[in-house]
């Protein structure tokens, strides 16, 4: 399945969707064969990008070298989307199919969706050696979505010691123990 992320860049993240287009006999279609891409099922503001850069629910392209290309823009919610494709072959017949499970992942954590919690809240580490506290980071992307699986969280301290990383995260939290 194609996968791309909602990255923190100036515009929404886009992925190029390139298809090898064949007729009903399995042969490569001629150049300038009309292809229509359209969103069958979205999850949160996805769109297709026309050559002019406009966001739309459908894009009309023509084949070059037997391939048709469009761009898919990520929306604000990670999940699976489906893209429909109509190809008009010589004689006017339209061949239709759906590209299943294009996966849109969340973007990287941002400071607007970042928080810390400690348990216990306030240890007297300067008086007792070896006291520990569990530190948990709560993170989200620019839309408040949990980060992409595999996102790491790094921890540092100016007093005492702390494990450097919360490891690979599968949800919206990362935890370590500080001494």
User: How confident is the model over 10-35, as pLDDT tens digits?
Assistant: 345 777 888 888 877 888 889 999 99
29-38, 121-130, 136-145: which has the minimum mean pLDDT?
A: 121-130
Rounded to an integer, what distance in angstroms lies between the CA atom of residue 160 and that of residue 172? 26
Residue 115 has pLDDT above 80, yes or no: yes
**Residues 152/109, Cβ–Cβ less than 8 Å:** no
At residue 116, the pLDDT reads 86
Measure the CA–CA gap between 122 and 125, rounded to whole angstroms.
Answer: 9
Between 174 and 75, whose confidence is greater? 75
pLDDT range class, residue 45, cuts 50, 70, 90: confident
């Amino acid at each position: 399945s194609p996968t791309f992320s909602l990255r923190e860049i100036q515009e929404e993240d886009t992925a190029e969707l390139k298809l090898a287009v064949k007729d009903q006999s399995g042969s490569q279609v001629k150049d300038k064969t009309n292809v229509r891409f359209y969103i069958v099922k979205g999850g949160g503001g996805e769109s297709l990008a026309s050559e002019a850069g406009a966001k739309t629910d459908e894009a009309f392209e023509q084949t070059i070298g037997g391939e048709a290309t469009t761009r898919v823009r990520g929306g604000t919610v990670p999940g699976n989307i489906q893209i429909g494709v109509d190809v008009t072959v010589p004689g006017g017949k339209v061949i239709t199919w759906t590209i299943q499970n294009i996966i849109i992942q969340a973007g990287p954590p941002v400071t607007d969706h970042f928080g810390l919690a400690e348990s216990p809240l306030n240890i007297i580490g300067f008086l007792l050696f070896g006291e520990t506290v569990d530190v948990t980071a709560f993170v989200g992307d620019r839309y408040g979505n949990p980060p992409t699986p595999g996102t790491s969280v790094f921890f540092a301290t100016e007093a005492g010691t702390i494990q450097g990383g919360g490891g690979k995260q599968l949800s919206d939290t990362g935890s370590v123990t500080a001494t």
